[in-house]
Amino acid sequence: MRLPDAPSLYAASADPVPVYPTLAEPVSADVAIIGGGYTGLSAALHLAERGVDAVVVEANSVGWGASGRNGGQMHSGQRRDQDWLAAQFSPDDARRLWRLGEEAKALTLGLIARHRIDCDWRLGLIEAVHKPRLVAEERAYVETLRRDYGYEAVEWLDREAVSAAIGTDRYFGGRLDNGAGHLDPLKFARGLARAAAKAGARIFEGTRATRVAKSGRWMVETDKGRVTADTVILAGNGYIEGIDDETDARVMPIDNYILATAPIGAGRPGGLIPGGAAVSDTRFVVYYFRPTADGRLIFGGGESYARSERTDIAAFVTRHLLTIYPQLKGTRVDYAWGGRLAITMRRLPFVRRLRPGVYVAAGYSGQGVALAPFAGKLIADAIAGDASRFDAFAALPCPPFPGGRLLRYPALVAGMSWYALRDRL
């Protein structure tokens, strides 16, 4: 049985969409894809466009998980910045990963344009600096991007400029990226599904995968029947625990929470964020927010590592909101919801060929609006015979979380509590 959509602004404001059927009998395909989010839908679309018979099984409805609940922000690069990548790997590797990140953004924008996906795309994203001691480092990073990567779309905002741009004095500077931006994530996910189905992919909703096994060909067992295929793609991100042990050890689901205010004129002259950019900040446990097309403010902040969803989401997120916008005290909150993203130890995606004929892409660590559709395409490319860019991601080290199945969550909570404390110091 498929679960209802999250009580989000996105679900409440989305146009009606086709309900894809539930699997009713065993089917056979070239490729079976587990998960109807950005990764799985992009893979299905790019495979179907090549004439490959692709089947998507989704436990609930397309875009039900993180793809339809997230903050809608599309950033440049990777989750880790270029200085970190150059230090951890090499300057050449950092440049290669930057180029892949730019390709990922271009793919998302290309999909929106090519398939005429109406998802409220808007340019502009500010990375706001929350501590004075970080200003020099962040300002230097703008120069690094311009000088070493030829990225001219980024500029530095001093404290006065960032305060005017965001509508609060809580930040000490910021990096305005005019090559990044934001969108309605559920509209984008549903648009991808329509494009994939039109190209010939078969999508089955309300069909939960329970096991992947091999008997000649690969078999995806579901609660509604079996899909037999030559190749399987695990594309469930934070919702795919229990299918593959290697993935479970390296991809950690965490819950994050968002609210949407009543319309307050955000993103318009005289309102908060009058230029319409999205904002995220330099906290380790990041605050992220943006105006919507109808003048609301969407604000995300606070994470949970418990395995049950909070029941006080509006109050929980409002506490964080008021630290940035105290003037919004008493503003009505119309929607509040949670969702499950997935992180990795190094905050770089886990993209692998797990064994011959089985691929996985997960753990985008908050960078999924660009990287998840891109990973889906790279897997489709690899299946079609061009694994060059897939291999660049697959080569990134992705160690397992310490503590094993029993202790990794307590270890994560301890570590994240330290980082949350450091954010406040």
Q: Which domains does the chain have, with CATH numbers?
A: 9-69+187-251+346-415 (3.50.50.60), 122-182+253-341 (3.30.9.10)
Percent of the chain surpassing pLDDT 90: 86
Give the mean model confidence (pLDDT) for residues 273-285: 96
For residue 412, name the pLDDT band (cuts at 50, 70, 90).
low
Give the mean model confidence (pLDDT) for residues 104-119: 98
Average pLDDT value for the chain? 93
The yes-or-no verdict on residue 166 having pLDDT over 90 is: yes
Question: Which segment of 140-144, 337-341, 409-413 scores lowest on mean pLDDT?
Answer: 409-413
Res 307: pLDDT: 57
Res 413: pLDDT: 58
For residue 360, name the pLDDT band (cuts at 50, 70, 90).
very high
Taking only the tens place, the pLDDT of each residue in 69-100 is 999 999 999 999 999 999 999 999 999 999 99
DSSP reduced 3-state for 82:
helix
Taking only the tens place, the pLDDT of each residue in 191-227 is 999 999 999 999 999 999 999 999 999 999 999 999 9
Name which residue leads in pLDDT, 15 or 288: 288
Q: How far is CA 115 from the centre of its chain?
A: 20
Cβ atoms of 320 and 299 within 8 Å: the answer is yes
User: Would you say the C-alpha torsion 11, 15, 21, 27 has a positive or negative sign?
Assistant: negative
Res 234: pLDDT: 98
The yes-or-no verdict on residue 260 having pLDDT over 60 is: yes
Sequence-distant (6+) residues with CB within 8 A of 423 are 130, 283, 284, 285
Res 421: pLDDT: 45
Residue 208's CB: how many other CB atoms inside 10 A? 18
Name which residue leads in pLDDT, 359 or 309: 359
Taking only the tens place, the pLDDT of each residue in 222-249 is 999 999 999 999 999 989 889 999 999 9
The yes-or-no verdict on residue 18 having pLDDT over 60 is: yes
Give the mean model confidence (pLDDT) for residues 110-139: 98
Helix residue ranges, H only, 217-276: 245-250
Cβ atoms of 353 and 246 within 8 Å: the answer is no
The yes-or-no verdict on residue 424 having pLDDT over 90 is: no
For residue 406, name the pLDDT band (cuts at 50, 70, 90).
low
Name which residue leads in pLDDT, 304 or 293: 293
Res 285: pLDDT: 87
Give the start-end residues of each E strand in 171-310: 174-182, 202-204, 209-215, 217-222, 225-234, 252-261, 278-281, 288-291, 297-304
Cβ atoms of 339 and 6 within 8 Å: the answer is yes
Q: For residues 401 and 411, what is the distance between their CA atoms, to the nearest angstrom? A: 9
Percent of the chain surpassing pLDDT 70: 93
Give the residue among 148, 151, 139 at the shortest CA–CA distance from 92: 148
Name which residue leads in pLDDT, 3 or 331: 331
Give the residue among 141, 212, 157, 174 at the shortest CA–CA distance from 354: 212
Q: For residues 68 and 238, what is the distance between their CA atoms, to the nearest angstrom? A: 13
